[in-house]
Chains A and B, each alone.
Chain A
Amino acid sequence: MISVGWTLLALTTSAALPQEEETTWVIRAQTVYTAAGDPIEDGAFIEVEDGIIEGVGSGSRGGDGALECFAVTPGLIDLSVRIASSRWSVEESDEVQLAARMADAVDLFSYRWGREARSGVTSALVSPPDNNVLGGLGIALKTAGEPTLEARLLRDDAVLRGSFGDYPARHSTPNRLAVGPPRDFRTRRPATRMATEWVMRDAFYKGIAAKRSGTAYDGAEVLESVLSGERPMIVQAWATQDIRTAAFFKAEFSIPRMIIDGAAEAWREPELLRSSGASVVLPPMVFGQRARDNAFYTLSCAKTLHDAGIPFALSGHGAERSDERLAYQPAHAMRGGLPFEAALEAVTMAPARMIGVEDRVGSIEAGKDADLVLWSGRPFEPSSRVVGVLVSGRLVLDPRPTE
């Protein structure tokens, strides 16, 4: 066999971890980036007790048992993680699935949780598939912990997921001769962008009409929560035309909180986005090719949004390849001109605020969950590495050198 020394990271699902786990730590680092004010430089410590941050300060604290690293950031938050317990397919019974809950379908035993957790993502919003025009309700969970919804829950039914653009129509049967029986279910599904938009508008009008007339409409209370701003709506829209559609839709129905996911061409419409009040989740950077829906994704997209004052988050979109995950996205955004502080914000506090969980996660402050990422060098540089991860105080990736 190969001599020792190679890096083998074997991450277990938390089910395999011992029941009684250490959740009290002292962490020492050169710099702690709190994402709540200035970083603490030239030596800092974080005290964690029972999974909660007890204190943060400069100087040294803790004895031999302390975890040490170069820098600490808050755990990363990804608003577009894809983990389901079924096949990632489309719900064919109805295009509008207002009552579908991701809470019923999320697979807590998927190896993908470990993949997200050890690459630094500690909180994830898992939404229904993009193939339905209105897919249902997403759930925000921690990426590690006891494998129960209760133990990992950040926010239940956190968002309503919708989708504009080519995606819902992609799997549909296009128009064909009006003879013979329909070939399958999908014959009736929207086959174009305009029909996708119509289906979504139709659902909203029916919901509003039902409320006015006092008649029953399935999922009316979900639509109401979106229309009142109690629950954000997250829609997929990659290309400029779909981003515009989303912004116009937000205005048409006065939807207070709309998050546009996958907005690779957001750089084309900073003014529209700013005035619309929508926030944005950017997909992983692509090189030498177009993003989904043939969208042209520029390196400076994040910077453009930052300069325009649009709230935005970066995302790994459940990337398969190790170097495409969320921890590597800020580097590309910074290459495009985004300042470090804004990049840090875009993977921590910004996504936390978008789904309203900023009281629990997103920054390193006393009283918040101990979701921490420990880095070997300056965070987000490709020459740095995530060496340690804590989720609610549990050590998911151990920064201490192995024997």
Chain B
Amino acid sequence: MKAAMSIKRVLSCSLVLVAVVGSATASEKLVIEAGRIITVQGPEIADGVIVIEDGRITAIGPASEVEKPWDAPVLGGPEFTAFPGFIEANTTRGLDRANESVDVAPFLDVRDSLDPINFFFEDCKRWGITTISVQQGSDCVIGGRGRVVKPHGDTVEEMTVRPSFGLVLSASPKRGKSRATQSQALRQAFTDLREHLEQLVQEKRDGNDRARREALYQGRDLEGERGKGRAMTATAWKVDGLELVPRGQVDEKQEPLLDLVEGRVAAFFHCSQPMDVHRALEIARDNGFLARTTLILEPACWKAADVIAEAGVPVVLTGDLTHTEREPLTGEELETFVPTVYRDAGVRFALSSENSSTQSLWYQAALAVGGGVSRQTALEAVTRVPAEILGLGDRVGALAEGMDGNVVILTGDPLSSTTWVDTVVLEGEAVYRRDEDVRNRHLLEGIAQPGTQPAAGSSDVAAEAEPESEAAMAEPDEASGEETGPDSGEEASNEEEEDTEQ
């Protein structure tokens, strides 16, 4: 039954894809008309036109000033608002599993666990998210390499915007570790790197050929640049004589960390408590990658806002935008609206779809405005700031000449509760149309998808099984827990769950 359902899902998914691709403009030119264009980096344009050629925006401005190519198909209309796509600076969704069980695993790459037909990417289009940095999760000491993708394509390569982008580190403890052992493991990883490099240099000086033989045995590339040594360019600490060691001979498990220390990799450092922030900044500083560090913060970290401001690093705000805590003596509840704290401290912040409510970005931006952040800052926190964090500030996150042709056509203001994404254009190609989005109707109205309904007479069963089967599977199944019988362990977890409900 489960297999049959998943086949159905794949089928329906590919049906959607076929429908969308079929309607997409195959030509290399596209014109988008909109009653209102929100450029984010410049003033709004009323009655505007965007011309996209070969995937790039070649012209943007009021309809009266922009010349439309006569042979280009036209999307949008006066009733629509054009907006640069929302940008997600850090998510683990889209991966089959967020972390490896190994403490230090910088040699991994999310490429190997990215699933192009994951429901998440479909949802991204529905929410108007056009650029996504998929990274490993925080349950690690040092995680693997991430990747910037767009939510469209049949293979990881087709989706890729920037391969091997970003490396995840965590200052909050991996499962089974305390903060002390976590910090120790973080520092040890860099000590190990240093010792490894020193050993390589020593071996070369001694005339020991082990590293070369090992590299050859493992079939590593030792041609060209990989066959040459290069002096270490790091700023924080150096191993002298590294120019003696061809880079291809550095252990694969250590090389991503060497890249990090030499400043070639962006670091995403997870912190769940204010104290983690201090340690993350210290380790980044001690190893020379502070300038390339972005902190991925949980709500409680607002208390470290001035430390972050002093370090000058950008942050990504995950989870609830309001931090709630109990005053330990009086039992009073204290609420802090987090984005305004960072704004006032002068920290650049991006909002995240890694939140517990809608898992969208427009909603977070709207909440930020509600909490007192200016509209412009809120919009930038879901467009330009994450684009800059991903090193794509000149390509995405705003609508301007020369930028990627990523445009979201909305039915109204991006921060209004009744606005829907009508069309998503990625690099000049319409990849999502709301009127063709069967699943959206499903989420909205709960109608069974055509073609997925079983034989007549059991329509109710169909409706029960079909909607959102992906999400239903992701959710911990309450019923299955039941079958095992409530032994004392389950009892405890049940009660815990209820406590949160009081």
Contact = CB atoms under 8 A, between A and B. Distances in A.
B337 interface: yes
B444 A336 contact: yes
Contact of B467 (A292, A296, A301, A318): A296
A294 interface: yes
Interface stretch (A251-259, A320-328, A344-352, A388-396): A320-328
Contacts of B458: none
Interface string B351-372: 0000111111001001101111
B494 A170 contact: yes
B460 A321 contact: no
A289 B474 CA distance: 8
Contacts of B370: 376-377, 381-385
A174 B358 contact: no
Given A7-B337, A380-B417, A322 B320 contact: yes
B336 A240 contact: no
B372 A7 contact: yes
Most buried by A among B123, B320, B417: B417
Given A296-B467, A298-B444, A380-B417, A318 B501 contact: yes
A57 B472 CA distance: 50
A2 B345 contact: yes
Contacts of A296: 446, 463-464, 467-468
A234 B156 CA distance: 51
Interface in B460-493: 460, 463-464, 467-468, 471-472, 474-475, 477-479, 482-483, 485-486, 491
B494 A171 contact: yes
Contact of A382 (B331, B417, B479): B417
Interface string A232-271: 0000000010000000000000000000000000011000
A212 interface: no
B452 interface: no
A91 to B, nearest CB: 14
Interface in A1-58: 1-13, 16
Contacts of B206: none
Given A171-B486, A267-B446, A240 B500 contact: no
Contacts of B446: 267-268, 296, 298, 300-301
Contacts of B372: 7, 385
A383 B444 contact: no
B418 interface: yes
Given A166-B479, A383-B370, A321 B445 contact: no
A115 interface: yes
A16 B358 CA distance: 36
A84 B498 CA distance: 12
A167 to B, nearest CB: 10
A332 interface: yes
B19 interface: no
Looking at A13, A323, A380, which has the most chain B CB atoms within 10 Å of its CB? A323
Interface string B249-276: 0000000000000000000000000000
A176 B369 CA distance: 56
Interface in B319-357: 320-322, 324, 326-327, 330-337, 340-341, 344-345, 355-357
Contacts of A205: none
Interface in A125-178: 166, 170-174, 176
Contact of A88 (B330, B344, B502): B502
Interface in B175-199: none
B499 A300 contact: no
Contacts of A267: 445-446
B491 A324 contact: no
A328 B355 CA distance: 15
A335 interface: yes
- Max count, chain A CB within 10 A of own CB: residue among B345, B359, B446, B471: B446
Contacts of A166: 478-479, 482
Counting chain B CB atoms within 10 Å of each CB, the highest count among A7, A115, A324, A380 belongs to: A7
For B327, B416, B477, the residue with the greatest tally of chain A CB atoms inside 10 Å of its CB is B416
Contact of A288 (B303, B359, B502): B359
Contacts of A112: 502
Contacts of A3: 344-345
Contact of B499 (A88, A268, A336): A88
A57 B446 CA distance: 43
A383 B491 CA distance: 41
Interface in B290-337: 302-303, 305-306, 320-322, 324, 326-327, 330-337
A362 interface: no
A376 B123 CA distance: 31
A61 interface: no
A315 B336 CA distance: 24
Interface centre among A3, A292, A337, A380 (most CB of B within 10 A): A3
Contacts of A385: 370-372
A278 interface: no
Contacts of A203: none
A275 interface: no
Contacts of B335: 8-11, 118, 322
B443 interface: yes
Contact of A321 (B333, B357, B482): B357
B235 to A, nearest CB: 30
Most chain-B Cβ atoms within 10 A of its Cβ — which of A186, A288, A385?
A: A288
B485 A174 contact: yes
A288 B123 contact: yes
A353 interface: no
A382 B356 contact: no
Contacts of A322: 320-322, 324, 335
B337 A332 contact: no
B495 interface: yes
A332 B344 contact: no
Contacts of A74: none
A7 B344 CA distance: 10
Contact of A298 (B367, B443, B478, B494): B443
Interface string A76-90: 000000111001110
B159 interface: no
Contact of B475 (A173, A289, A300, A376): A289
Contacts of A82: 501-502
Interface of A: 1-13, 16, 82-84, 87-89, 111-112, 114-115, 118, 166, 170-174, 176, 186, 240, 267-268, 287-290, 292-294, 296, 298-301, 304, 317-318, 320-324, 328, 331-332, 334-337, 376-377, 380-385
30 contacts: A2-B303, A5-B340, A5-B344, A7-B340, A7-B371, A7-B372, A8-B335, A9-B337, A12-B332, A88-B498, A115-B333, A170-B494, A174-B482, A174-B485, A268-B463, A287-B357, A289-B472, A294-B478, A296-B468, A301-B446, A321-B357, A322-B322, A323-B355, A324-B357, A332-B417, A336-B444, A376-B370, A377-B370, A383-B367, A385-B372
Given A170-B482, A384-B370, 14 more contacts: A6-B344, A82-B501, A171-B486, A172-B486, A268-B460, A287-B360, A289-B472, A289-B474, A292-B478, A299-B445, A321-B356, A323-B322, A381-B416, A383-B415
Interface of B: 123, 302-303, 305-306, 320-322, 324, 326-327, 330-337, 340-341, 344-345, 355-360, 363, 366-367, 369-372, 415-418, 443-446, 460, 463-464, 467-468, 471-472, 474-475, 477-479, 482-483, 485-486, 491, 494-495, 498-502
Q: Which 7 A-B pairs have the closest CB atoms?
A: A322-B322, A382-B366, A385-B370, A331-B417, A298-B446, A383-B369, A383-B366
